[in-house]
Amino acid sequence: MITFTGKEPWLSIPVEKLEWGDLPSEFEARSKAICVLALRQYQYDAYLRTEHWHSVRESALKRFRGQCICGKNAVDVHHLNYDRKGFEHPEDVVALCRSCHKIWHETWTLQARESLELTA
C-alpha cells in the first residue's frame, strides 16, 4: 500500500502549474497522486459527498467504535486539520456526537476571533 506524508513536493505546487514530471515516477504512486490532486480540488461540501470521504468517515467511526469522545453515539466525523485532505491519516479526523461537534466549531470560531482581535 502506498501512503503519502503530506510533505511530498507535488502537494505544494498549484494544480494549474503541476507538470507530469512533478508526480511520483512509479505508476501506482503516480495514479494515487492524481486521485489525491483531484480530491483536493473539490469544494468542501462536494468533497464530503465523495466515495473517498465516506470511506474515511466509516473508518473513523469504526476506529472510535461509534462513540464520541464524550461517550455518546458519534454521528459526525470532524477534520482536525485539512493538510491531508484527500489522503487523510487516521489522526486527522475524530468521531463526534452532534453536540460536541457544534461545541467544537463554536469554540474554534471563538478562539479564532480572539486571536484576530489580539493581532489587530
Asked whether the beta carbons of 77 and 61 are under 8 A apart, the reply is yes
Runs of H (alpha helix) within the chain: 27-40, 44-47, 51-63, 98-119
Task: Identify whether 38 is part of a domain.
Answer: yes
Number of structural domains (the chain) is 1
Q: What is the pLDDT of residues 47-104, one digit of tens each?
A: 999 999 999 999 999 999 999 989 999 999 999 888 888 989 899 999 999 999 999 9
Residue type, 34: I
Task: Identify whether 4 is part of a domain.
Answer: no
Cα–Cα distance list, 61 to 49, 78, 94, 104 (Å): 17, 11, 8, 17
What's the mean per-residue pLDDT of the chain? Answer: 86
Q: How many CB atoms are closer than 10 A to CB 31?
A: 13
What is the predicted pLDDT for the residue at 43?
Answer: 92
- Give the residue numbers spanning the domain of 76: 9-119
Task: Identify whether 80 is part of a domain.
Answer: yes
What is the predicted pLDDT for the residue at 74?
Answer: 97
Task: Identify whether 50 is part of a domain.
Answer: yes
DSSP 67: B
Q: Is the pLDDT of residue 119 over 60?
A: no
Asked whether the beta carbons of 66 and 73 are under 8 A apart, the reply is yes
Tell the residue number behind the cell numbers 507535488, with chain if given. 10
Task: Identify whether 13 is part of a domain.
Answer: yes
